[in-house]
Each structure stands twice: as structure tokens, then as C-alpha cells.
Amino acid sequence: MAGRRKEIQIQVEITSNEQWEEALAAPGLLVVDVYQKWCGPCKAVQSLFRRLRTEFGEDLLRFAVAEANTILDLSALKGKCQPVFLFYFEGKLVSVIKGVKGPLLQRTILELVEEEKKKQELGSKYISKLQEIFLEERPKESKPEPSNENDKETDDHGPYHVVIIKPDVVAAGHVEPIKQKVEDAGYSIIAEEERVLNQEQILDFYRAKAEDSDFMQLMSSGPVHALILRKENGQSDSDGLDLSEIIDPIQAELVKTEKSSEDISEMSLGFSDDSRELASRQLAFFFPSFNFSADTSAPQADTNPRVQRTVALIRPGLLRERKDEILQTIRDSGFQIAMQREMTLTEEQARMFYREHEGKDYFPCLIHHMTSGPLLALALTREDAIQHWRGLLGPKILEEAKQKSPESLRSQFAMDDVPINQLHGSSTPEEAERDLSCFFPVEHTLAVIKPGVSQEQQNNIVSQIKEAGFSISQVKETQLTRDMAQMFYKEHKGKEFYDSLLDYMSRAPSVLMILSKENAVNEWRELMGPSDPEQARQCSPGSLRAQFAQSILENVVHGSSNIQHATDNIKFIFGDGDM
């Protein structure tokens, strides 16, 4: 813990319920970064927090971090795969931001600091207009008990509705006002989620608008925010305002239901194909672990399998000897490989990932094998992916798999000289999200469209970047100085082409972009292709350099080579602002 405090510096670490109560009682606005044990506090926002803390001082603004598992009030956030920031004013929760959204975090802090200033200036005359919110749904007011058994309410809550708030509205910080509007109209928010749609998903989800290039570009420009709503108990959709009167179609899309039913198969989309299959896939994408029939009085059969994501690990021994065979087996089993990443775990990373096995007899062998060479992490998708993959794997104990499930993958792909199984799979939706966050974290990388690229080619490159699922969080067109070019290409210093490269990069404006995506650094380099355009045309004909590059020197695009280079280059070009 002492090591983490030094790293965080500006943030106080809260490790007990007693410290939590003390922090809430102290003066000033309190901003809490709630993190999970497996990923730690968010480092991306610390420069922003440090600057704001320096500007306003501790009397007005305080920052803290807390692990969700250690604080009772944070139990609702256990297992969440993205950072959650809580804002406490006068000891009460007044705002929640999920995910790292630098501009929204800054705007929220500035607004609440102004409120804190008013409170301190007015003293006892101050009256707060901020409303307390809760991490878990709480009843707004108690209702009288029914007078007899026949009057008791059943769980007649009417249909579910799903609202998809568009990226520009999310970026502008208007999610909370929309949520407040629907709650004021008598709807409860049952679940919410934030996702970035790639080009393929947008085309699938919004087929009716596939020809609307402005709409397609908007929906790929950043994360959307999805809400599941329903009327509170005892009310029907006919009570009060209809959702279509509340939800501005410019701001959000509405998933409407045809009947008062919780069965996802009876939902159709007012903004897309009305087929039940598509509705199921769309809702499953946003809410893969949400059970739409959980509140019904009668059990319902799950007739619509959900499209899920799960993580598969191919351990080092199997990857070395039978990589192509296992990948083909996975594809033949109906899975799509959405992402893959080859990496070598450090001993610390392996111990952290398999910490629940520590103390078992096989643990030292497992750690030794997992760090013996590269493994391959796969993000797999298909209907009921988690259960299906676990079923294919078979028992975890290798001897048991061989004896009881000889047809299982762990038995078929066992290695004679290794006593542990060669394949891993996430066990639950929560574990799948944790594993995805671990092996495919959202990364930021720097992309440069080099000088001399025509406007038509620039537009084509940007279009392909978005089609590949990247979101572009910042763009700057500027002419690099020679010193700036040296910063980008310092690893080439001393090579015979170095001076020519610097001259070329500083002769005319370049377009510089921050790209964000899971595994962004490697995927951007794959999209660029090899540095030599001739080689690119042979081995990667769909790459940007194969399509547009003229020579090794004038090869159209540049990208950071690793995460550290990306961080350094982004800071160098765009400063300390958050992404």
C-alpha cells in the first residue's frame, strides 16, 4: 500500500469504512476514483487532477481512491471493468462518471467547485440545489401496505425500453440530464452501459441508415451510452408522458417494445430492422449479462441465446507447437476471433492473473509455464460464448479431462511433457469483462498522416481508421519543426536516411491524431502495414501503405511502436490534457 501512495501522490487512498466516513465528513468537494483490485486506480487522469488540485487547493477540492471490495458503500461497483468516478458534496453523492472522459471530468469538477465556493462564502445562508443520487436503486417513498391479500401488488412493471444516447451527446456531458428527465417521468433506470461501436456493428444495428454517411460517422465518433428503463411498480406506459415525448431523437435512439413483456424476443427496434433476432443481438451487445425475465412472476424459457464476448488463452507450449490447428478448431466451433494479442507474461502478471490458485500444488508449475514464452490471448464472440467455450474446454484437471472428457479441447490438445492444461477460458460474464480489460485494455496511440498526402487520400485514410473501430479523440494539423521530427524518430538517429527523414517530415503540415481502441498500438501498426510499400503490397495488400505509399521515406502514415512511445508522443504533441 505504501508503494501505491507514492505513485498516486495527489490522491488519498481509502482502505477502510472508518476512513471512508472521515473522508465524507471533511470539508470540500471529494472526487473518488473507484477501482478494482486487478487493475488499480486510473493513471490517465492524474495530471488533470494534479493541475486542478494545485489551482483550487485542498480546502475546496480533494481527491481519493478506493477499491470497490473494501468499502461497504461501494459494493454496487464490485467487478466493474471500467473506472468509476464519484463526486461527493457535503458528504452526499451528487454525480457519477463511468469511464475515463477527461473533458467531462474537468467540467463536472469545475461546476461543483464553484458550488463549493458559494457554500463557503455564504456559510449558514447557503442552500444546496444539488440532488443526492444513489449507486443502487432505492425506493423514493414508502407506500401504505395493502389492506388485504387480494390488494397486494404483483410485479407488474410493464415493458422494458432501451435508450441509446449518441456519442456527441455523451461527449457533451448530457447523459445525466437525460437520465433525470426519464426518472422525473416515472421511469426507473434498471441498468446502464457504455460501449464504442465499430463500423461493422453500426452497419448491422442501423441498417436503415447505412446510406447516411453523417449518421454513420457520428455513431463511430465515440462511445454511446445505453439505458434500460421501465415504469415503476404500479404504473403503465400510459401513465404520464410517453418515452417518445421525452427522448429527443437528435440526442438518442429508442428501442421500443411491442407488448408489455419482459421477453427480449418481443422487443423490436424503432430505429432499425424490426426482427426479433436483431433486437436480441443489439440488446445483448450492450447488456450481455442482463436477464430481462428476472423480475417476472412466472419462469420463462431462455429461447434467445445472447451474443457474448469471452477470453481464451492459448498457453505457451500449445502456441509453439499447434497454433494453426487450435485456431482452426476455434473457428470451426462457430466462434469469431474479434481480437488477438500475443504477449509474454512477467511472473508478477502471471501471479496476479492466477492469484486464486496460489497455494495449490500445481501453482509453481502453472506460473513457470505461463512465463516460459509468448501466449496468445483471444477475444471470442458468438451466442452464449462463455458457456459454449467452457463446455468445449472440458475439466480443468488434465487427467480428469483425459479420462472423463477425451473429446474435450483440453484433452485433445494436451502436451505429453506438461502436466497442466493448455487452454484457459473465462467462467462468468464478470470474469470475461475482467479478462478483456486485462488482455485488451483500451489504449491510446498517436497516428500521423505525413506531409504530401492529398486531401482525398487523407479522407480515405480517416474513413478506414474509423471503419477499423478506432475512435479519434483529438486531431491537430500542424507543420512539425525539425526538433519535433527528431523526437518522433530518435530511434533512427545515426542511420543514413535519418536527415532525409527529418527534412521530409518538417517540409509541410502533417495531420496528427489520438486513436483509441482496445489493443490500439498493435492494431494501428497492422492497419498501416510494413514500412516498405513493396513489401506491404505483397504481404498486407489491404494496408494503408500498400494503398497509398510511394516509397519507404514517403510511406504516408506513422504510428507509435509501443505503449510507452505512444504516451510520450501524445504528451509531446497534445500536452497533458486527458484523452
Q: Which amino acids are annotated catalytic?
A: 558
Which position has the grid cell 471470442? 380
- 488 torsion bin: left (phi>0), alpha (psi -120 to 50), beta (else): alpha
Taking CA 578 as the corner, what is the angle to CA 577 and CA 579, rounded to the nearest 5 degrees? 120
Cell of 63: 481527491
Taking CA 87 as the corner, what is the angle to CA 82 and CA 90, rounded to the nearest 5 degrees? 155
Q: Where are the beta strands (DSSP E) in 384-526?
A: 423-425, 442-449, 471-478, 510-518
Asked whether the beta carbons of 314 and 254 are under 8 A apart, the reply is no
Alpha-carbon distance of 487 to 502, in angstroms, equals: 10
Q: Which residues pair with 530 in a beta bridge?
A: none
Burial class of residue 176, CB neighbours in 10 A (0-12, 13-18, 19+) = middle
Residue 287, C-beta contacts closer than 8 angstroms, at least 6 positions apart: 162, 191, 193, 226, 228
Asked whether the beta carbons of 252 and 159 are under 8 A apart, the reply is no
Q: What b/e string do you get for 535-559 counting C-beta neighbours within 10 Å, with b at 16 or more?
A: ebbeebeebbbbbbbeeeeebbbbb
Q: How large is the greatest C-alpha to C-alpha distance in the chain, in angstroms?
A: 91
Residue 335, C-beta contacts closer than 8 angstroms, at least 6 positions apart: 380, 381, 382, 385, 388, 389
Asked whether the beta carbons of 225 and 219 are under 8 A apart, the reply is no
145 DSSP 8-state letter: P
Q: Where are the beta strands (DSSP E) in 43-107?
A: 61-67, 84-89, 92-98
- In the β-sheet with 510-518, what is the strand arrangement from edge to edge? 471-478, 510-518, 442-449, 557-559
Type of residue at 396: K
Cell of 330: 476455434
Q: Which residues pair with 314 in a beta bridge?
A: 376, 423
Q: Which helix (H) or strand (E) element contains residue 328?
A: helix 316-332
Residue 14, C-beta contacts closer than 8 angstroms, at least 6 positions apart: 20, 23, 32, 64, 65, 66, 70, 71
Asked whether the beta carbons of 167 and 472 are under 8 A apart, the reply is no
Q: Which helix (H) or strand (E) element contains residue 370?
A: helix 363-370
Asked whether the beta carbons of 4 and 64 are under 8 A apart, the reply is no
Alpha-carbon distance of 140 to 566, in angstroms, equals: 48
The alpha carbon of residue 107 and the mean position of all alpha carbons in its chain are separated, in whole angstroms, by: 21
Query: For the CA atoms of the chain, what is the radius of gyration?
Result: 26
Q: Beta strands 29-35 and 61-67: pairing type?
A: parallel
Question: Phi and psi at residue 93, in whole multiples of 5°?
Answer: -75, 120
